[in-house]
Chain A
Amino acid sequence: MEKRRKHSCKESERERRRQYPQFCSFLYRLLICVSYQFQHRKRLEREAKMLEIVRKKFTSVAFYVPSIQRIRPTFRNYSSAAKQMTVREALNSAIDEEMSADPKVFLIGEEVGEYQGAYKVSKGLLEKYGPERVVDTPITEAGFTGIGCGAAYYGLKPIVEFMTFNFAMQAIDHIINSAAKMNYMSAGQIPVPIVFRGPNGAAAGVAAQHSQCYAAWYGSCPGLKVLSPYSSEDNRGLLKAAIRDPDPVVFLENELLYGQSFPVSEEVLDSNFFLPIGKAKIERDGTDVTVTAYSRMVGHALEAAEILAKEGISAEIINLRSIRPLDRATINASVRKTNRLVTVEEGLPQHGVGAEICASVIEESFEYLDAPVERIAGADVPMPYAPNLERMAVPQIEDIVRAAKRACYRAGPSSSG
């Protein structure tokens, strides 16, 4: 139907031409407003992200001990990770910075001084701080661990290094009875701000007496905090948090990760950077199955996730970081999202970390599980020496892939398990 024109043809033309620029300018102004809104929103998001990081820094710092005056918000650009850092460098820099910040921190252990560290983790520290603060000991774990605990009773902050945690079994009485339980037994009179650190778990070809993983043993002891980092960021942030913590902390490193490089951002390189104890990290988001891991197994799990992604299974990888306290909230939230769980650990299966995670998920999120929990752990044998047997005794990437497929009911009749 033809629109009835109010004016005559010529007049309406003139009218429309008059209105046209106003309409155009209106459109133009509208476009500009929309684009400003868009840019403003991006800026707001960026600022919100920075504020979030600053807020996290301030709130989590409040839990730690007093040298907070030097905390300052860093408004740097977090978008790109420029530098590569090995785990060894991360640990060395963390110890170095904490020793320079607090004169009560000292390092004690075998070969930490003149030998520059059994694995060169304490390289350069003796030259920098002197033999009073970097103390070489005889091969007497029980003795020097007790000495470290006694020094901590008096208010110093020792970092006790074990060549491996297998040797810490000689000193485990002091770790548990003299350190972990002291704050409780003395009704708070004697806190023990000590860190026990060293490589844990299997190395390569060191056989039965040098390959055990102690995460589950220490993880069951009240009074201890137990950390197991993976990347350089984890190692640096968690060791700094451990040294500042007023409670005894068992810091389980991994010998095979010492030489591995990881990208680190500017924030990680800051001298006040640390990570909260008791929080897990979701290394990779996924929707189909949750895979929990700690230490070296996180790397295996990430590679398994790549393989699974090609087959259409989206795996969510959780890096536990903290064995005690265990981040049950993150694990359960993830399982409630994916409905399937695979736990991966290098340690022995019975009474292991995976068993505790499984129990926690069953207690809190049983209705959300669509499949039984799959548990991948080391074989229930003393670690063999021959390379083919050793390979079979430690979880491999294929084991994680198979377990994830089993959890997703994708295991075909031809595959074993």
Chain B
Amino acid sequence: MFTAQLSKNASRCAALLRPLKASLTSQLGRPFSSSVADDTTSLTIETSVPFISSVIDPPSRSAETTPKELLSFFRSMAVMRRMEIAAGSLHEAKLIREFCHLYVGQEAIAVGMEAAITRNDNLITSYRDHCIYLARSGELVAAFAEMIGRKDGCSGGKSGSMHFYKKDGGFYGGHGIVDAQIPLGCGLAFAQKYLKEDNVTFTLYGDGTANQGQWFEALNMAELWDLPAVFVCENNHYGMGTADRRATKSTAYYKRGDYVPGLKILFIKATVHPRLITLS
């Protein structure tokens, strides 16, 4: 799913990934054999934690996959983790200025979602967008160049860490204002419905965002007009520096939509294999 992009920066990408291969090999005690990477025998995996849902039946806990797919998930998440750690070091070295929001620990959301959707579906998120950009066929070097402010960056070096965009990959950013992305995501879904396209828009937001007014406004209109929008709350239990129990009266975020009849909500805790179930 996510593979190193074969572009003019291919050699640079390969150089970045070489140490990764070496370290993983030494930990595993054996090299990656080509047979595992190409193994397409079907596996059934059951999630370690059950799904919790509101107003909808929870999906089944078992999922079909193959070793090849699992390895590609692992590879993608590993690349994302290494990228975020490197970005953190660059930020401390003041090479990345001001804002640098890391996706460490949340890689599974990006990778799992990408496994279930297509390039024609849209994705929009807040400022914690480095790994989502990669998942949407973004280039590693373009991401770093943008964070450092070089013209080879995905936004020409003009926007920085918080504003990655890739329209041809269906990724609409990259928004610095908390909660702005929710009505924007509904707008993308509105356009897909207007143009009678059979696709969906995924709007990612955080637990801190869930308290903002625009979220409720957008949710109301999305259900009123039956927009093809899926809202994904990435709950890391902190809004900026404030713990969720200090900012939110009800931390059961998956019950927020109860006031809008017809809305279906799924609560997926971090699982070994986070696979997004398509909601009908």
Which positions in A face B, CB cutoff 8 Å?
106, 132, 135, 137-138, 140, 142-156, 173-174, 177-178, 184-187, 189-190
Contact = CB atoms under 8 A, between A and B. Distances in A.
Contact of B194 (A143, A151, A184, A190): A151
Contact of B158 (A132, A135, A154, A187): A187
Contact of A187 (B156, B172, B220): B156
Contact of B187 (A138, A149, A185): A149
Contacts of A144: 183, 217, 221
A146 B159 contact: no
B176 A140 contact: no
Given A106-B194, A185-B155, A174 B188 contact: no
Contacts of A143: 183, 186, 214, 217-218, 220-221
Contacts of B154: 187
A144 B165 CA distance: 22
A256 B189 CA distance: 37
Contacts of B183: 142-147, 149-150, 174
A150 B191 contact: yes
A173 B212 CA distance: 14
A107 to B, nearest CB: 12
Given A150-B191, A173-B177, A185-B159, A142 B217 contact: yes
Nearest to B164: A186
A150 B158 contact: no
A150 B201 CA distance: 11
Given A143-B214, A173-B177, A173-B180, A155 B191 contact: yes
Given A106-B194, A146-B180, A153 B172 contact: yes
A208 B158 CA distance: 39
B163 interface: yes
Most buried by A among B174, B186, B217: B217
A306 to B, nearest CB: 48
Interface in B132-179: 154-156, 158-159, 163, 165-167, 172-177
B158 A146 contact: no
B263 interface: no
A148 B187 CA distance: 6
B158 A147 contact: no
A178 B163 CA distance: 11
The 6 closest A-B pairs by CB, nearest first: A150-B187, A146-B183, A143-B217, A187-B156, A154-B191, A140-B217
Contacts of A153: 172, 184, 187-188, 191
Contacts of B220: 138, 140, 143
16 contacts: A143-B183, A143-B217, A146-B180, A146-B214, A147-B184, A147-B190, A150-B185, A150-B188, A150-B189, A150-B190, A153-B184, A153-B187, A153-B188, A178-B180, A186-B165, A190-B167
Interface string B182-225: 11111111111011000000000000000001100110110011
B125 interface: no
Nearest to A173: B177
B122 interface: yes
Nearest to A189: B167
Interface of B: 122, 124, 154-156, 158-159, 163, 165-167, 172-177, 180, 182-192, 194-195, 213-214, 217-218, 220-221, 224-225
A52 B80 CA distance: 61
A139 to B, nearest CB: 9
Most buried by A among B158, B174, B180, B225: B180
Nearest to B214: A142
A98 B17 CA distance: 53
B137 to A, nearest CB: 14
B172 A147 contact: no
Most buried by B among A144, A148, A155, A186: A186
A143 B184 CA distance: 8
A253 B224 CA distance: 30
Contacts of B173: 185-186, 190
Most buried by B among A132, A174, A185: A185
A322 B152 CA distance: 36
A211 B127 CA distance: 36
Given A150-B186, A153-B191, 13 more contacts: A138-B224, A143-B214, A146-B180, A146-B184, A146-B214, A149-B187, A153-B172, A177-B175, A185-B159, A186-B167, A186-B173, A186-B174, A189-B165
Nearest to B186: A147
A174 B186 CA distance: 13
A185 B158 contact: yes
A190 B187 CA distance: 14
B166 A189 contact: yes
A190 B155 CA distance: 11
A149 B191 CA distance: 10
B191 A186 contact: no
Contacts of B122: 154
Contacts of A149: 183-184, 187
Most buried by A among B166, B175, B187, B214: B187
Contacts of B175: 177-178
Most buried by B among A144, A150, A184: A150
B167 A174 contact: no
A146 B165 contact: no
A252 B183 CA distance: 24
A154 B186 contact: no
A33 to B, nearest CB: 67
B177 A177 contact: yes
Nearest to B180: A178
Nearest to A108: B190
Contacts of A174: 180, 183-184
Contacts of A147: 183-184, 186-187, 190, 218, 221
